[in-house]
Amino acid sequence: MILSMPAQAWLFLSTILVGACIGLFFDVLRIFRKTVPHSNIAVQIEDLLFWLTVTIAVFYFMLLRNFGEIRLFSIIGIALGLALYFAILSQWVLKVSVGVINYIKKVILSALMIIFTPFRLFFGWLIRPIISFLKRRRKGLRNVSRYGKLHMKKSARNWFILRKKV
């Protein structure tokens, strides 16, 4: 289908916007990876899901806006949108987002520490005598085992002497 020049211009601008949205989606994935530790397999699966999602979204966009025709200026528009997003906005989005997420983590951890401090103190007060008792008991058992070893050496020596005399 033949598009008029203004329709092609709007299509080009919208493909630039689609490229910027793909860049933002990739930054969301990068922020998720920076804030939550991942294994190598998880990263590979996330990349696969990312590219499948982007491919389906671009195909659906081209189907709706361009009637399924792939034009060179559409591909250039998506690449230009990605390049502009990564050149202008990506660094700021990453810094601000990671900073905000780390601040929220600190606030939540501080709130949890405040909430659980009475429990920690109570259980520390309750468990401390038990631990000290167990340590004393273990030290006593260690002395008993030392005595047993000395006693065994002594009896072994006595047996040796007895066998020698007979």
Residue with tokens 């250039």: 76
Instruction: Count CB neighbours of 26 within 10 A.
Output: 16
Separation of alpha carbons 128 and 86, rounded Å: 56
Residue with tokens 């793909």: 22
Is the per-residue pLDDT at 11 higher than 80?
yes
**43-101: per-residue pLDDT in tens?**
999 999 999 999 999 999 999 888 878 889 899 999 999 999 999 999 999 999 989 99
**114-128: per-residue pLDDT in tens?**
888 887 777 777 777
pTM assigned to the model: 0.65
Structure tokens at 144: 């008993």
Phi, psi (degrees; rounded to nearest 5) at 37: -65, 145
Instruction: Count CB neighbours of 19 within 10 A.
Output: 24
Per-residue model confidence (pLDDT) at position 79: 95
Is the per-residue pLDDT at 137 higher than 90?
no
**101-110: per-residue pLDDT in tens?**
989 999 999 9
Per-residue model confidence (pLDDT) at position 69: 82
Per-residue model confidence (pLDDT) at position 48: 96
Separation of alpha carbons 117 and 122, rounded Å: 9
**20-57: per-residue pLDDT in tens?**
999 999 999 999 998 888 899 999 999 999 999 999 99
